[in-house]
Amino acid sequence: MNQFLVFVKKEWLHIWRDRRTLFILIWMPVVQILLYGFALTNEVKNSKIAIFDQSRDLSTQAVSEKLAASRYFNLIKNVYSYKEIEATFRQGKIRLAVVFPNNFRNDLLHTNHAQIQLIADASDPNTANTLTNYASSIINDYQQSLTQNEELPYTIKTQVRMLYNPELKGAYNFVPGVMALVLMLVCAMMTSISIVREKEIGTMEVILVSPLKPFRIIIAKTIPYLIVSLLNIATILLLSVFVLDVPIVGSLLLLIGESILFTVTALSLGILISNTAKTQQTAQFTSMMSLFLPTLLFSGFLFPVENMPIPLQVISNIVPAKWYYIIVKSVMIKGLGFSAIWKETLILVGMTAVLLGISIKNFKIRLS
Rounded Cα distance, 259 and 54, in Å: 58
Q: Are 57 and 116 in contact (CB under 8 A)?
A: no
**Can you tell me which of 209, 253, 310, 311 binds another protein, judged by CB under 8 A?**
209
Q: Helix, strand or coil for residue 120?
A: strand
Cβ distance to another protein smaller for residue 203 or 317? 203
CA–CA–CA angle 82, 84, 87 (5° rounding): 115
Rounded Cα distance, 77 and 95, in Å: 12
19 forms part of the interface with another protein (CB under 8 A) = no
DSSP conformation class of 153: S
Minimum distance from residue 18 beta carbon to another protein (Å): 7
40 forms part of the interface with another protein (CB under 8 A) = no
Rounded Cα distance, 332 and 177, in Å: 12
Number of residues that bind another protein (CB under 8 A): 24
**Can you tell me which of 10, 110, 278, 343 binds another protein, judged by CB under 8 A?**
10
Minimum distance from residue 226 beta carbon to another protein (Å): 21
Q: Identify which range of 67-75, 142-150, 197-205, 288-296 contacts another protein by CB under 8 A.
A: 197-205
**Can you tell me which of 205, 247, 285, 289 binds another protein, judged by CB under 8 A?**
205
Spatial CB neighbours of 240, under 8 Å, sequence gap ≥ 6: 33, 171, 175, 246, 248
Q: Identify which range of 10-18, 88-96, 112-120, 187-195 contacts another protein by CB under 8 A.
A: 10-18
Rounded Cα distance, 262 and 109, in Å: 61
Q: Give which of 98, 48, 54 is closest to 76, Cα–Cα.
A: 48
Q: Residue 53: which H helix or E strand, with range?
A: strand 47-53
Minimum distance from residue 365 beta carbon to another protein (Å): 7
Binding mask 151-190 for another protein (x = CB under 8 A): ----------------------------------------
Rg from Cα positions in the chain: 28
**Can you tell me which of 42, 54, 203, 281 binds another protein, judged by CB under 8 A?**
203
Q: Residue 283: which H helix or E strand, with range?
A: helix 280-287
Binders of another protein among residues 301 to 360 (CB under 8 A) are: none
**Beta-bridge partner residues of 48:** 74
Q: Identify which range of 3-11, 34-42, 140-148, 233-241 contacts another protein by CB under 8 A.
A: 3-11
**Beta-bridge partner residues of 75:** 49
**Can you tell me which of 152, 156, 163, 206 binds another protein, judged by CB under 8 A?**
206
Parallel, antiparallel, or unpaired: how do β-strands 117-120 and 73-79 relate? unpaired
207 forms part of the interface with another protein (CB under 8 A) = yes
Cβ distance to another protein smaller for residue 209 or 310? 209
Distance of CA 267 to the CA centre of its chain: 22
Minimum distance from residue 164 beta carbon to another protein (Å): 47
Minimum distance from residue 265 beta carbon to another protein (Å): 28
Residues at the site binding another protein, with contacts judged by CB under 8 A: 2-3, 6-7, 10, 13-14, 17-18, 201-203, 205-212, 365-368
